[in-house]
Amino acid sequence: MAWKVGAAVAVVLGFVGVGAGSGSGPDPRRSGWRDGYRPPAEIPFPAENPYTAARAELGRRLFFDPILSGDRTRSCATCHVPDLAWADGRARAATRQQGDMDLRTPTLVNVAWQDGPLGWDGKFPTLESVSAMPITAPGNMNLPMAEALTRLSGDPDYVAAFAGAFADPAITRERLEAVLATFERLIVTAPTPFDRWIAGQEDAIGDPAKRGFDLFNGRAGCASCHSGWSFTDNSFHDIGVGSGADIGRGRFKPTSVALQYAFKTPTLREIGQRGPYMHDGSVPNLEAVIDLYDRGGIERPSRARAIKPLHLTGAERADLLAFLATLSARTERDLMTASFAAHPPAP
Residue 20 clears pLDDT 50, i.e. is over it: no
**Superfamily of segment(s) 53-188+332-343:** Cytochrome c-like domain (1.10.760.10)
CA-to-CA dists, residue 318 to 5, 134, 183, 227, angstroms: 39, 39, 37, 21
Mean pLDDT of 162-177: 96
- Average pLDDT, rounded, for the chain: 89
Give pLDDT, residue 50. 96
Beginning with the edge strand found earlier in the chain, give each strand of the sheet holding 9-11 in spatial order: 42-43, 4-5, 9-11, 342-343
CA dist., res. 119 & res. 200, Å (int): 34
Residue 6 clears pLDDT 50, i.e. is over it: no
Give pLDDT, residue 26. 72
CA dist., res. 169 & res. 221, Å (int): 51
How sure is the predictor about 330, in pLDDT bands with cuts at 50, 70 and 90? low
Mean pLDDT of 220-235: 96
Give pLDDT, residue 232. 96
CA dist., res. 146 & res. 302, Å (int): 41
Residue 248 clears pLDDT 80, i.e. is over it: yes
Give pLDDT, residue 4. 56
Give pLDDT, residue 5. 56
Residue 331 clears pLDDT 70, i.e. is over it: no
By DSSP bridging, strand 236-237 and strand 9-11 are: unpaired
Give pLDDT, residue 336. 47
Sequence spans of domains, the chain: 23-44+194-325, 53-188+332-343
CA dist., res. 72 & res. 148, Å (int): 11
Give pLDDT, residue 3. 57
Percent over 70 (pLDDT), the chain: 88
CA dist., res. 298 & res. 308, Å (int): 10
Q: What is the pLDDT of residues 73-117, one digit of tens each?
A: 999 999 999 999 999 999 999 999 989 999 999 999 999 999 879
How sure is the predictor about 342, in pLDDT bands with cuts at 50, 70 and 90? very low
How sure is the predictor about 181, in pLDDT bands with cuts at 50, 70 and 90? very high
Instruction: List the beta bridge partners of residue 9.
Output: 5
Q: Which fold has domain 23-44+194-325?
A: Cytochrome Bc1 Complex; Chain D, domain 2 (1.10.760)
pTM of the model: 0.88
Residue 15 clears pLDDT 50, i.e. is over it: no
Beta strand segments in the chain, E: 4-5, 9-11, 42-43, 236-237, 263-264, 342-343
CB 153 within 8 A of CB 162: no
Query: What is the C-alpha end-to-end distance of the chain, expressed in Å?
Result: 9
Q: What is the pLDDT of residues 37-57, one digit of tens each?
A: 999 999 999 999 999 999 999
Residue 23 clears pLDDT 70, i.e. is over it: no
CA dist., res. 151 & res. 154, Å (int): 5
Mean pLDDT of 254-269: 95
Residue 314 clears pLDDT 50, i.e. is over it: yes
Q: What share of the chain is helix, strand, coil (3-state, %, to 5)?
A: 35, 5, 60
CB neighbours of 331 closer than 8 A, spacing ≥ 6?
A: 190
Give pLDDT, residue 299. 94
